[in-house]
C-alpha cells in the first residue's frame, strides 16, 4: 500500500536511531519543521526530501520511494546491467571477475541473484552439481538440499554465517524480510542465535565431494559512489584458498 511521506521519514529516522533534534541538526532544518513533516502538518519540497534522505543515508531505491510518497518523480535511475549508462560499471565488474581467475568469483544483486560469474565459478559449481544448471541465486544454491548444500562442510555453521550476512550486507540496512522467510522454510535451517561467534579472522566455507576438498574464504566488493540503483545494489564476491598455517 502507498505510504505517506511523514510515516516513511519517521521510519527511517528511527531505523537510524536518531532523535528529531539530532536529525534536524544534521540535515540543517528546524526540529519544529521536521516534526510537522513527520506528522503530516507540512509537506516537504523535493529538495527537502533529498536533503533528509541524505542525512539518513537512505539507499537510492528507497530515496525514490520517499520522493514518490511526497508526490515527486524518482531521482535515481534503475538501469539494466547491460545498459549503455552502466558500461563503465560492467567493464570494471568483468575486469574484477577475470582478475580472480583461477579462483571463483560471482556478482550478485540485492536479492543474491547471480548476474555475472567468472569461468572458475561456473566450472567449480558445475563440478559439484555434475553439470546440472542450478538456480541463479547464491542463497538457494546454499540452502536448498537439492543443490550445493550437501557438499558444504559443517553446513549449519555456514548457514548461520550466511544469515548474518543477509542482515549485514543489506543495502542501507534494509533487510529483505521476505527473503529471510523463504530461507527459513528450507529444512534444518538454524536460528542465527544458536551458534556463537567464530574465533577465526574470517569465516571459511569448505566443500567436499568424492574425497576432494576445497577450503575458501571470501571478500565482498561494492561500488561506493553509485548514482544508479542497480549499481549501488551490486556485490562482487571473490573466493580465495584458505591456507592453514
pLDDT tens by residue, 51-93: 999 999 999 999 999 999 999 999 999 999 999 999 999 999 9
pLDDT tens digits, residue range 118-143? 999 999 999 999 999 999 999 999 99
Task: Give me the pLDDT at residue 200, please.
Answer: 52
Task: Give me the pLDDT at residue 201, please.
Answer: 56
Instruction: Indicate the CATH number for domain 87-241.
Output: 3.30.450
Q: Domain 5-69 has what CATH class?
A: mainly alpha
Task: Give me the pLDDT at residue 32, please.
Answer: 96
pTM listed for this prediction: 0.86
Task: Give me the pLDDT at residue 191, please.
Answer: 79
Delimit the domains of the chain by residue range: 5-69, 87-241
Task: Give me the pLDDT at residue 209, please.
Answer: 97
Q: Classify the phi-psi angles of 172: left when phi > 0, otherwise alpha if psi is within -120 to 50, otherwise beta.
A: left
| Number of other CB atoms surrounding residue 97 within 10 Å | 21
**245 vs 48, 158, 213, 242, CA distance in Å?**
55, 22, 17, 10
**99 vs 115, 185, 204, CA distance in Å?**
17, 37, 21
Which residues of the chain carry a pLDDT beneath 50?
A: 1-2, 195, 199
Give the burial class of 103: count Cβ atoms within 10 A of its Cβ; 0-12 exposed, 13-18 middle, 19 or more buried.
middle
Task: Give me the pLDDT at residue 1, please.
Answer: 39
HSE-CB for 148 with a 13 A CA cutoff? 26
Task: Give me the pLDDT at residue 175, please.
Answer: 80
Amino acid at each position: 500500500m502507498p505510504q505517506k511521506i511523514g510515516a516513511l521519514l519517521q521510519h527511517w529516522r528511527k531505523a537510524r536511531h536518531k532523535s528529531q533534534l539530532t536529525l534536524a541538526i544534521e540535515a540543517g532544518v528546524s526540529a519544529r519543521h521536521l516534526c510537522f513533516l513527520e506528522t503530516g502538518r507540512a509537506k516537504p519540497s523535493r529538495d527537502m526530501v533529498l536533503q533528509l534522505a541524505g542525512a539518513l543515508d537512505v539507499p537510492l531505491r528507497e530515496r525514490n520511494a520517499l520522493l514518490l510518497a511526497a508526490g515527486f518523480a524518482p531521482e535515481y535511475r534503475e538501469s539494466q546491467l547491460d545498459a549503455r549508462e552502466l558500461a563503465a560499471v560492467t567493464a570494471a565488474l568483468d575486469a574484477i571477475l577475470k582478475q580472480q581467475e583461477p579462483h571463483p568469483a560471482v556478482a550478485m544483486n540485492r536479492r543474491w541473484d547471480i548476474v555475472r560469474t567468472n569461468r572458475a565459478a561456473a566450472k567449480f559449481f558445475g563440478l559439484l552439481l555434475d553439470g546440472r544448471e542450478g538456480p541463479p541465486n547464491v542463497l538457494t544454491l546454499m540452502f536448498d538440499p537439492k543443490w550445493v548444500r550437501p557438499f558444504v562442510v559443517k553446513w549449519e555453521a555456514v548457514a548461520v554465517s550466511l544469515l548474518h550476512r543477509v542482515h549485514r550486507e543489506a543495502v542501507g540496512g534494509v533487510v529483505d524480510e521476505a527473503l529471510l522467510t523463504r530461507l527459513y522454510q528450507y529444512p534444518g535451517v538454524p536460528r542465527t542465535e544458536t551458534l556463537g561467534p567464530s574465533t577465526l579472522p574470517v569465516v571459511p566455507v569448505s566443500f567436499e565431494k568424492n574425497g576432494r576438498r576445497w577450503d575458501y574464504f571470501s571478500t565482498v566488493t561494492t561500488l561506493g559512489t553509485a548514482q544508479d540503483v542497480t549499481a549501488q545494489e551490486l556485490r562482487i564476491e571473490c573466493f580465495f584458498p584458505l591456507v592453514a598455517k
